[in-house]
Amino acid sequence: MKLRIETTYKSKKGTETNFSSDDMSAEKALVIAEDLQKTGRIKNIHFLDNYDSTWTLKELQKYLEEIETEPHNISVYFDGGFDLQSKMSGLGCAIYYEQNGKSYRLRKNRHVDSLDSNNEAEYGAFHLGVLELESLGAQHQTVSFIGDSQVVINQLNGEWACMEQSLNRWADRIEEKLQQLGISAEYTLVSRKQNQEADQLASQALNKVEISSKMEILND
């Protein structure tokens, strides 16, 4: 969940002015807000989310305590590959998230023989990532989806029209599942080089090398 801080600052001589921050993660917003409060010159501090709902400091603290045991701060990298000769597809996704104070990486791929294009494979990889989120129990939060497919990213974020029926069906399926889980999607388009992990998973799936793993990420 992204929030911005809105507050009133009062100087030693009683001069007041209002401040509004950039959007930031809920965790970062809480840290900054608590630090601002220590100055003793802040009043009327509150937070606004992407839906313009207002949160008090206590409400945000309670929310973060509640989600600590659930997967949160989630990023999903996705990529699909399609072999024109064999008509086979490889789907890959890598999911990074936090839970119970630890960081994790989940990697998953799938070999598919029912798709007709590379764009369908890209949508299929995105959908695979959403299904993995459901398996993790992720819900009612903002999730970052990252991929190198301009078609998928721009169609799902509404910048491009989706004219092909097959892709429309994928988009509807994805949006229906996200709505069911209460997940608000943020889309980021990256280069193929920046999406190497998901790309490799898709390539391995094309070669029928199945990957399904989860590991804790240890900070140095």
pLDDT value of position 37: 87
The whole-number pLDDT of residue 116 equals: 93
Q: What domain count does the chain have?
A: 2
pLDDT tens sequence across 142-167: 899 999 999 999 999 999 998 899 99
120 and 197 part of one domain:
yes
Rounded-to-integer distance, Cα 175 and Cα 118, Å: 20
63 shares a domain with 76: no
Question: Do residues 49 and 79 share a domain?
Answer: no
Range of the domain at 60: 2-67
**Where among 67, 91, 108 does a domain terminate?**
67
Q: Do 106 and 10 share a domain, yes or no?
A: no
Dist. CA 186–CA 75, nearest whole Å: 9
Closest Cα to residue 195, out of 76, 109, 112? 76
80 and 170 together in one domain: yes
Q: Are residues 54 and 118 in the same domain?
A: no
Question: With a cut of 50, which residues of the chain have pLDDT below it?
Answer: none
Q: How many CB atoms lie within 10 A of CB 103?
A: 14
**Strand arrangement of the beta sheet that strand 212-217 belongs to:** 183-189, 141-147, 72-83, 88-99, 102-112, 212-217
Beta strand pairing status for 24-25 and 2-10?
Answer: antiparallel
Closest CA to 136 of 84, 92, 208, 73: 73
Q: Are residues 35 and 81 in the same domain?
A: no
